Amino acid sequence: MTLGLLAISCKTEKEDPSTQLAPLLLSMPLIQSAPNQSTCAGPGSLPLFTDPMPPENEILTLHLGESIVLDQANQPGSPNLVWDFFAGTEYLGFYQRFARHVQAEQCASYTPTFPGFHYLKLCNSQACLARGIIKVEGQMNRAPVARAAPIPLVVPVGVGQTLDLSASTDPENDELKFEWKILIKPAGSSAVAPTSGPAVQSFTPDQPGKYFLMSRARDGFENPFRFLDEANSQISALLYARIPGNQAPTISLGMTPSNPTESTAITFDASASTDQDDAELKIHYWSLIRLNDWGSWELDRESDQFTDGQLTFTIAPTAGTYQIYVCLADYVGRDFGLEGEEQSCTYKEFVVAP
């Protein structure tokens, strides 16, 4: 009987949120019922201690694939206790928590899935009562490599798109499962992430706009020490959903005054822009970049906050050389980088005199 699944979050014991990595869900159980309850307090159980930590040469050593019994039966409040799991590469070094508040029966079996020092704490709601530590030897399982079949960048709204990760591989030929998440979607969209598990899934954008999805290939051996290798197990999908047959608007941008000084506000006006479908237009986004003293361009300011029908904005930059980039929106914000939408965006270079 499976008693718990692990969520790995690679936290320090202080749990500083800024240091957390993306959670990794193990696909195999962390703790199981001990196969022989009568051996719970036998030589195969984890020795528990309070302080100090025992010498390194006195701790138990396991090989990957072996198990150890966790015996909490003699601890006060035993039925309500939980285990916290930490891992480190050095006995007296830094330990990262990779699981917390894992419930188990009073006699349970723990099978480590990666090498290193595994440090366990047995806790109640107020404090931790006992600790144990084991050394696990063996070869680190390597992360899978996620590979996706090509998908269109621009897709029709309401039409399902195939997300095919069947070309993904694993160095040890472990069975792979795939987890999907939607990181960006348009306002008002109720689209849901593809089903996790199988390699081939379908995703249907339900609103015009930008969708950014992330998938991770999982082999069941995720752990805090493999996080650098895990980069290859992730892959993203970027989609822009559009209404079929609708044409992108064409921008026309005016600038007043045409030769500004830094004491003069500059107005940019896109009201002469046109749209073949007679949609109401507005400015979707603008960014102002400035040529710095080292001869490179850097962002000065930007905005994407415009009301319906708004086609003008005013800025007052200091003296210098600038480029302004502006994009329109009709029923959706248009993008510089999309084929067929280049005419919806433009840029101007200008100088603001002292």
> In the CATH scheme, what is the code of domain 154-242?
2.60.40.10
Q: Which residue(s) pair with 283 in the sheet?
A: 328
Q: ∠ at Cα 54 (49, 59), nearest 5°?
A: 95
In our burial notation (b when 16+ CB lie closer than 10 A, e otherwise), range 290-319 reads bbeeeeeeeebeeeeebeeeebebebebee
Other C-beta atoms closer than 10 Å to the C-beta of 125 total 9
- The per-residue pLDDT for 19 is 29
Residue (of 212, 264, 243, 225) closest to 24 by Cα position:
225
Q: Which DSSP state fits 57?
A: G
pLDDT greater than 90 at residue 76: no
φ and ψ at 115, to 5 degrees? -75, 165
Banded pLDDT at 22 (limits 50, 70, 90): very low
The model's pTM is 0.74
- Average pLDDT of 175-200? 95
Residue (of 349, 342, 285) closest to 320 by Cα position:
349
pLDDT tens per residue across span 247-299: 999 999 999 999 999 989 999 999 999 999 999 999 999 999 999 999 999 99
Banded pLDDT at 230 (limits 50, 70, 90): confident
- Average pLDDT of 335-339? 90
The CATH label, of 2.60.120, 1.10.10, 2.60.40, 1.20.120, for the domain at 2-137 is 2.60.40
Domain limits, CATH 2.60.40.10, in the chain? 154-242
> 126 vs 78, which has greater pLDDT?
126
Report the top-level CATH class of 254-352: mainly beta
Amino acid at the residue 285: Y
What's the whole-number average pLDDT of the chain? 86
pLDDT tens per residue across span 109-150: 899 989 999 999 999 888 888 999 999 999 989 999 999 999
